[in-house]
């Protein structure tokens, strides 16, 4: 007789976010009413959250946790085709995610996601020009940024100035190569961190290895 | 009085009074909205015209999706053509700059006067314009084809696009075709020689030769690098066309190959 596979919750990490064991497999997942979005598997109501695809999942699996509340308002810069946003949409069940992406092709796929989810406001805009969506986006509790661009720090600072509430938090995914393609990553990161300190309190930073090479996350508070 | 164009209409600020004029077409006002940092809370103000928060969000979401649908189609339809015509403009400006610079030299050999100074000023302005156009090409190219642009930079990416005609066609090309794109003339010359039983060398690279990773290598290694870069470009173009998401390992692999070859 075939043994039926069992699903077990090992740990609750954030709202609707769990470490799951299924058979011999241990993985991160979000509880979701929606169907898979980027080729991830769904076990019962749990959508696998793949760290190689999502830097936020990589950060969590590397042991760092941020506090997310179900009713948060979030501004997400660099939504791409919506891999990470899809999981945040599970987590911020009662919240709103204003998601900015400037490239039309991935945005097309992201738009499909926005239609399925009630809490996503899709914006085809350039994140370096917040004036173009200042009449649309309200003040938010959290800004998440994943845009591999040279001036990503300036873009984050500008958006925080426009939209981040006092004591609001931010999470920035930094790719060394896109800031400086020749310098040592460790140098690029320490320069980035010291510049961030001018405007924010840095709560934590860390590597995203082995899932994303030469990347760090930076968690800040205004 | 200050006017703020927000997605649901216009807000007028007189002294400290705020007046809201609701738009009768949210899609239109959403597209037109543009403002500096608001000195008031958008959400609070919205409740003057929306009966509840829930209705505010559902109207906002509906409008955002509608606008996004319109803009995505528009953008996808026009960006190939936009990049190609920017590139043509760039090439024509280069011609102009060269032509004028030559004329300046000719004139200065004879005499320097107001006319030559005027020429210099114009060339200076053309050079500025050239920089602007190049920046524009890079930013448009990284939107349309992030992977190809990451691999070879905006201008070379735009040249490949121009040769292929569209991203769709570039995405359907084999690496070996991309490798000699722009060197068709010498390829056909070599092929016709081979057909006649004569000896001939087929070209190693076309447009992509402009890339520093190829140009800076010793001659006998260039073919190898060109082949490798072209194969990654073929993958990149497909990812760009079908998903549009940046695959970071492509550029990484090319960089490693270059370092390995350079020794």
Nearest to B71 among A96, A124, A136 (CB): A124
Q: Which residues does chain A have within 8 Å of residue B67's beta carbon, measured at their own beta carbons?
A: 124
Residue B239, pLDDT score: 95
pLDDT score for A3: 57
Tokens for B54, please give them: 């829930």
Q: Tell me, what's the ipTM?
A: 0.91
CATH (one of 1.10.246.90, 2.70.180.20, 3.30.70.100, 1.10.1040.10) for B146-263:
1.10.246.90
Q: Are residues A40 and A89 in the same domain?
A: no
| CB pair distance less than 8 Å for B36 and A134 | yes
Domain count, chain A: 2
Of B4, B61, B251, Cβ closest to residue A121: B61
pLDDT cut 70: percent of chain B above it: 100
Query: Which candidate in A53, A113, A114, A136 is best for mutational testing of the B interface (most B CBs within 10 A)?
Result: A136
Q: To 5 degrees, how large is the angle CA A88–CA A20–CA A84?
A: 20
Q: Which residues of B touch A124 (CB under 8 A)?
A: 67-68, 71-72, 75
Q: What is the DSSP string of chain A?
A: -PPPP-EEEEEEEETTEEEEEETTEEEEEEE-SSPPSSS--EETTEEE--TTT-HHHHHHHTT------TT-EEEEE--TTSHHHHHHHHHSTTSEEEEEE--HHHHHHHHHHHHH-TTEEEEE--TT-GGGTTTT---EEEEEE----TTHHHHHHHHHHHHEEEEEEEEEEEEHHHH-SSS-HHHHHHHHHHHHTTTSEEEEEEE-TTTSTTEEEEEEE-
pLDDT digit string, tens, across residues B12-33: 988 888 899 999 999 999 999 9
B252 CB-near residues (< 8 Å, 6+ apart): A177, A213
Domain that holds residue A83: 73-221
| pLDDT computed for residue A40 by the predictor | 93
Interface of A with B (CB under 8 A): 80-81, 96, 102-109, 111, 114-115, 118, 120-124, 130-139, 148, 161-162, 175, 177, 212-213
Does residue B185 carry a pLDDT above 90? no
- The pTM is what? 0.81
Q: What would the pLDDT profile of A32-87 be if each residue is shown by its tens digit?
A: 999 999 999 999 899 999 999 999 999 999 999 999 999 999 999 999 999 999 99
Q: Are residues A10 and A86 in the same domain?
A: no
Quick one: fold of B76-144?
Helix Hairpins (1.10.287)
pLDDT in tens, B38-47: 999 998 999 9
* Helix, strand or coil, per DSSP, at residue B222: helix
Determine whether the interchain pair A175/B248 forms a contact, defined as Cβ–Cβ distance below 8 Å.
Answer: yes
Q: For residue A108, list chain B residues with Cβ-Cβ distance below 8 A.
A: 72, 76, 244
Nearest CB among A123, A148, A212 relative to B64 is that of: A123
């Amino acid at each position: 007789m075939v043994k039926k596979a069992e699903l077990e919750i090992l740990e609750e990490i954030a709202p609707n976010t769990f470490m799951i064991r299924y058979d011999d497999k241990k993985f991160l997942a979000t509880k979701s009413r929606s169907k898979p979005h980027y080729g991830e598997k769904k076990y019962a109501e749990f959508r696998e959250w793949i760290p190689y695809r999502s830097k936020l999942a990589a950060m969590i699996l590397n042991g760092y946790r941020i506090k997310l509340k179900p009713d948060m308002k979030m501004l997400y810069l660099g939504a791409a085709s919506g891999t990470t946003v899809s999981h945040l949409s599970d987590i911020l069940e009662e919240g709103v995610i204003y998601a900015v992406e400037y490239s039309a092709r991935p945005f097309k796929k992201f738009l499909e996601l926005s239609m399925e989810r009630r809490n996503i406001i899709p914006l085809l805009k350039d994140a370096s020009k917040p004036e173009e969506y200042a009449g649309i986006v309200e003040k938010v509790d959290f800004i998440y940024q994943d845009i591999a661009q040279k001036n990503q720090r300036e873009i984050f600072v500008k958006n925080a100035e426009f939209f981040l509430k006092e004591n609001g938090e931010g999470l920035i995914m930094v790719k060394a190569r896109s800031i400086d393609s020749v310098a040592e990553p460790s140098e690029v990161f320490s320069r980035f961190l010291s510049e961030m300190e001018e405007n924010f309190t840095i709560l934590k930073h860390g590597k995203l290895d082995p899932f994303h090479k030469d990347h760090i996350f930076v968690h800040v508070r205004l | 009085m200050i006017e703020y164009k927000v997605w649901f209409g216009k807000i007028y600020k007189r002294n400290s009074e705020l007046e809201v004029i609701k738009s009768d077409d949210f899609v239109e006002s959403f597209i037109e909205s543009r403002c500096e940092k608001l000195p008031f809370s958008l959400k609070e103000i919205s409740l003057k015209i929306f009966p509840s928060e829930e209705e505010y969000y559902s109207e906002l979401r509906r409008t955002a999706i509608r606008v996004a649908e319109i803009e995505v189609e528009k953008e996808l339809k026009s960006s190939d053509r936009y990049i190609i015509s920017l590139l043509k403009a760039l090439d024509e400006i280069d011609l102009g700059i060269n032509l004028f610079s030559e004329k300046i030299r000719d004139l200065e050999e004879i005499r320097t006067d107001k006319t030559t100074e005027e020429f210099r000023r114009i060339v200076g302005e053309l050079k500025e314009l050239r920089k602007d156009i190049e920046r524009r090409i890079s930013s448009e190219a990284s939107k349309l084809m992030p992977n190809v642009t990451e691999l070879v930079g905006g201008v070379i990416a735009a040249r490949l696009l121009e040769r292929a005609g569209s991203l769709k066609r570039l995405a359907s090309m084999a690496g070996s075709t991309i490798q000699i794109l722009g060197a068709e003339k010498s390829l056909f010359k070599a092929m016709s020689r081979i057909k006649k039983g004569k000896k001939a060398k087929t070209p190693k690279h076309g447009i992509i030769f402009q890339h520093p990773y190829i140009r800076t290598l010793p001659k006998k290694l260039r073919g190898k690098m060109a082949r490798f870069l072209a194969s990654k470009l073929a993958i990149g173009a497909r990812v760009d066309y079908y998903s549009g998401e940046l695959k970071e390992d492509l550029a990484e692999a090319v960089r490693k190959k270059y370092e390995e070859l350079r020794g």
